[in-house]
């Protein structure tokens, strides 16, 4: 059975991801796996100390207890091994442990806090941002610590009118929009140097309609000199609950690199959850 995976480091900033993940799991009827990754300091293991095996066992027990208490305190329920499960992994590489868990539990999405301490901070805010999005076998949702609602009722997909967007939009429709009957708006921010932006949107709409049928699919064309400013202004004005962006494969194209920077900027300065879909996972 497919699942949602929420990575937590127990920090305050990781709690919105936990709460949003649980709300989504209940609406979708699939399990939420709450994961914590820790690393044992082998320097503490000496001939006069406990054996490594005993230290490891106690560490796992401690973190299982902390995860249980975390769920009880902030979700009001205890893990039941059905819709709410806890998982502890030991690994010096957080990204590696997350990918392992995604595959193990057939996770369709991983939720993480945008800011936090140690592992989560490294994965979302540091150089690990690109690493996790590049390597994750499923989309990554980054949730800011400032959200005040844990319900997703509207979705905005930021598009550059590329054919690869169609696969990502299809994934969103089949995974979230259609099952939860959510409206989704395809948003394009047109800058002054863009050529025939409105004509491109009409071309993209025709392509999309040939492959996708959904009566709650809408379009928005926004003219703004700065892409980030235009997008954040649109999201605030329309009170969108989730913004989705496609992470392109790296290469020499300036446009692709610019898009990667937009994803990073949204992840670091955005005020609503950002779902990043890697191009390789949207086919």
pLDDT bracket for residue 269 (50, 70, 90): low
List, in order of start, the domains of the chain with CATH numbers.
3-143 (3.40.50.620), 155-281 (3.40.50.620)
Spatial neighbors of 262 by CB under 8 A, at least 6 apart, are 158, 227, 228, 231, 245
Q: How far apart are CA 139 and CA 231, in angstroms?
A: 20
Assign 261 a pLDDT band (cuts: 50, 70, 90): low
- In whole angstroms, what is the distance from residue 249 CA to residue 228 CA? 20
Residue 54's pLDDT is 79
The pLDDT, as a whole number, for residue 231 is: 87
First CA to last CA distance, the chain: 21
Question: What percent of the chain is helix, strand and coil (3-state, nearest 5)?
Answer: 45, 20, 30
Band of residue 119 on the pLDDT scale cut at 50, 70, 90: very low
**DSSP H helix total and E strand total for the chain:** 10, 10
Q: Report whether 157 contacts 185 (CB < 8 A).
A: yes
Chain mean pLDDT for the chain? 82
d(CA 240, CA 272): 8
Is a pLDDT exceeding 90 seen at residue 132? no
24 pLDDT more than 60: yes
pLDDT at residue 144 greater than cutoff 70? yes
Q: Given a cut of 90, is residue 228 above it in pLDDT?
A: no
Residue 164 predicted with pLDDT over 80: yes
Residue 61 tokens read as 């027990």
Average pLDDT, stretch 166-174? 93
Q: Check residue 50 and give its pLDDT.
A: 59
Q: Is 272 a residue whose pLDDT tops 80?
A: yes
How far is the C-alpha of 203 from the C-alpha of 52, rounded, in Å? Answer: 62
Pick from 88, 69, 89: which is nearest to 79 by CA? 69
In which band, very low, low, confident or very high, does the pLDDT at 45 lie, cut at 50, 70 and 90? low
- The pLDDT score that the predictor gives to residue 251 is 41
44 — pLDDT class (breaks 50, 70, 90): low
Mean pLDDT of 120-132: 46
Which of the residue ranges 69-78, 125-134, 203-212, 254-263 would you say has the lowest mean pLDDT? 254-263
Round to whole Å and give the CA distance between 34 and 85: 6
Higher pLDDT among residues 105 and 255, named by residue: 105
Residue 100: is it exposed, middle or buried by C-beta count within 10 angstroms (0-12/13-18/19+)?
middle
Taking the C-alpha atoms of residue 188 and residue 199, their distance in angstroms, rounded to an integer, is 12
pLDDT(262) > 80: no
pLDDT score of 265: 59
Q: Quick one: pLDDT band at residue 87, thresholds 50, 70, 90?
A: very high
pLDDT for residue 41: 65
């Amino acid at each position: 059975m497919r699942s949602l995976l929420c990575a937590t480091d127990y920090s305050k900033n990781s709690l919105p991801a936990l709460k949003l993940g649980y709300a989504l799991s209940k609406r979708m009827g699939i399990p939420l796996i709450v994961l914590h990754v820790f690393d044992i300091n082998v320097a503490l293991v000496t001939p006069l100390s406990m054996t490594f095996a005993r230290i490891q066992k106690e560490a796992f027990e401690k973190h299982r207890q902390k995860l249980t208490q975390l769920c009880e305190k902030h979700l009001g329920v205890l893990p039941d091994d059905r819709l709410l499960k806890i998982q502890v992994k030991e690994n010096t590489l957080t990204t590696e442990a997350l990918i392992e868990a995604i595959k193990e539990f057939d996770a369709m999405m991983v939720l993480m806090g945008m800011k936090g301490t140690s592992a989560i901070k490294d994965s979302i805010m540091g150089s690990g941002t690109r690493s996790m999005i590049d390597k994750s076998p499923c989309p990554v949702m980054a949730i800011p610590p400032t959200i005040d609602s844990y319900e997703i009722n509207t979705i905005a997909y930021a598009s550059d009118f590329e054919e690869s967007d169609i696969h990502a939009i299809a994934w969103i429709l089949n995974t979230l929009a259609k099952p939860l009957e959510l409206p989704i708006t395809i948003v394009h921010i047109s800058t002054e140097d863009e050529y025939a932006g409105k004509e491109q949107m009409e071309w993209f709409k025709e392509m999309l309609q040939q492959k996708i049928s959904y009566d709650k699919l809408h379009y928005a064309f926004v003219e703004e000199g700065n892409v980030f400013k235009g997008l954040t202004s649109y999201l605030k004005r329309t009170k969108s609950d989730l913004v989705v962006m496609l992470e392109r494969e790296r290469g020499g194209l300036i446009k692709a690199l610019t898009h990667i920077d937009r994803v990073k900027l949204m992840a670091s300065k955005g005020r609503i959850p950002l779902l990043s879909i890697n191009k390789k996972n949207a086919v």
